[in-house]
Amino acid sequence: MIPLPVFWKKDLKQSAGAGGRLGPAMQRSLDQAAARLEVKLTKANTATYHAAMKRTAKAFGVKGPKAITDKTALAGIAARSKISAASIVNTQATRMAALVAQHGSRSAAQPSYDEWAKGQQARIAQFEAGQTANNAHRDFVAQNTLEGTERAVPFDAQCISCQDAIAAGAVPIGTLPEMPLHVNCVHSVVATYTMPQDPTTLWFGA
């Protein structure tokens, strides 16, 4: 699991303005919390990316990389983690600020916030892992000239947003949209590649 920031346990009176808008002091606190979360997300997402590349290498019968060392791949992971961290922190803080405005104080708002936040960590971890694994697949396809097919799985989980991808079945690699398509999405992309003459020359993030 990815530990989430706990900045909302401070006094949030300054964030409980009209309509739950965040004040300058709170925004600075958010920026700091997002920076800390960015570090944690980058570490977790790099590990997920590495694991995805090792699984792909194993499917080709070769040894996976000891670490992800490709600078472009690492920069992509870091950039996506930064965007995710800012989005996560702002969503959580805006929710808390609105609850403080509604209930009149942080202590009164805390139970409602805790109930809302209870499932956040698992949902965020699932989404980040799925998105990062998909990015690893896309990067692998972009770096290696391979033919094959891809499909969205599992078939028995019908998110409304994912129905078209599921119904498409096996399609040429690069056809499906990036998955997961939404928070709580359980779908991912599985690819079947045509085996190259020398799999040891493939790019696996190192």
Q: Tell me: the pLDDT tens digits for 64-120?
A: 999 999 999 999 999 999 999 988 888 888 788 788 888 888 788 888 888 888 878
Q: Which residues contact 140 (CB under 8 A, 6 or more apart)?
A: 53, 56, 202, 203, 204, 205
pTM (predicted TM-score): 0.77
Q: Which of 60-69, 156-165, 192-201 has the lowest mean pLDDT?
A: 156-165
Length of the chain: 206
Going through the chain in order, the beta strands assigned E by DSSP cover: 148-153, 171-172, 188-193
Paired tokens of 164: 């078209």
Q: How far apart are CA 65 and CA 200, in angstroms?
A: 11
Pick the most confident of 46-55, 100-109, 158-167: 46-55
Q: Let me know: does 196 contact 202? Beta carbons within 8 Å.
A: yes
Q: Is the pLDDT of residue 145 over 60?
A: yes
Q: Let me know: does 95 contact 116? Beta carbons within 8 Å.
A: yes
> Over the chain, what is the mean pLDDT?
81
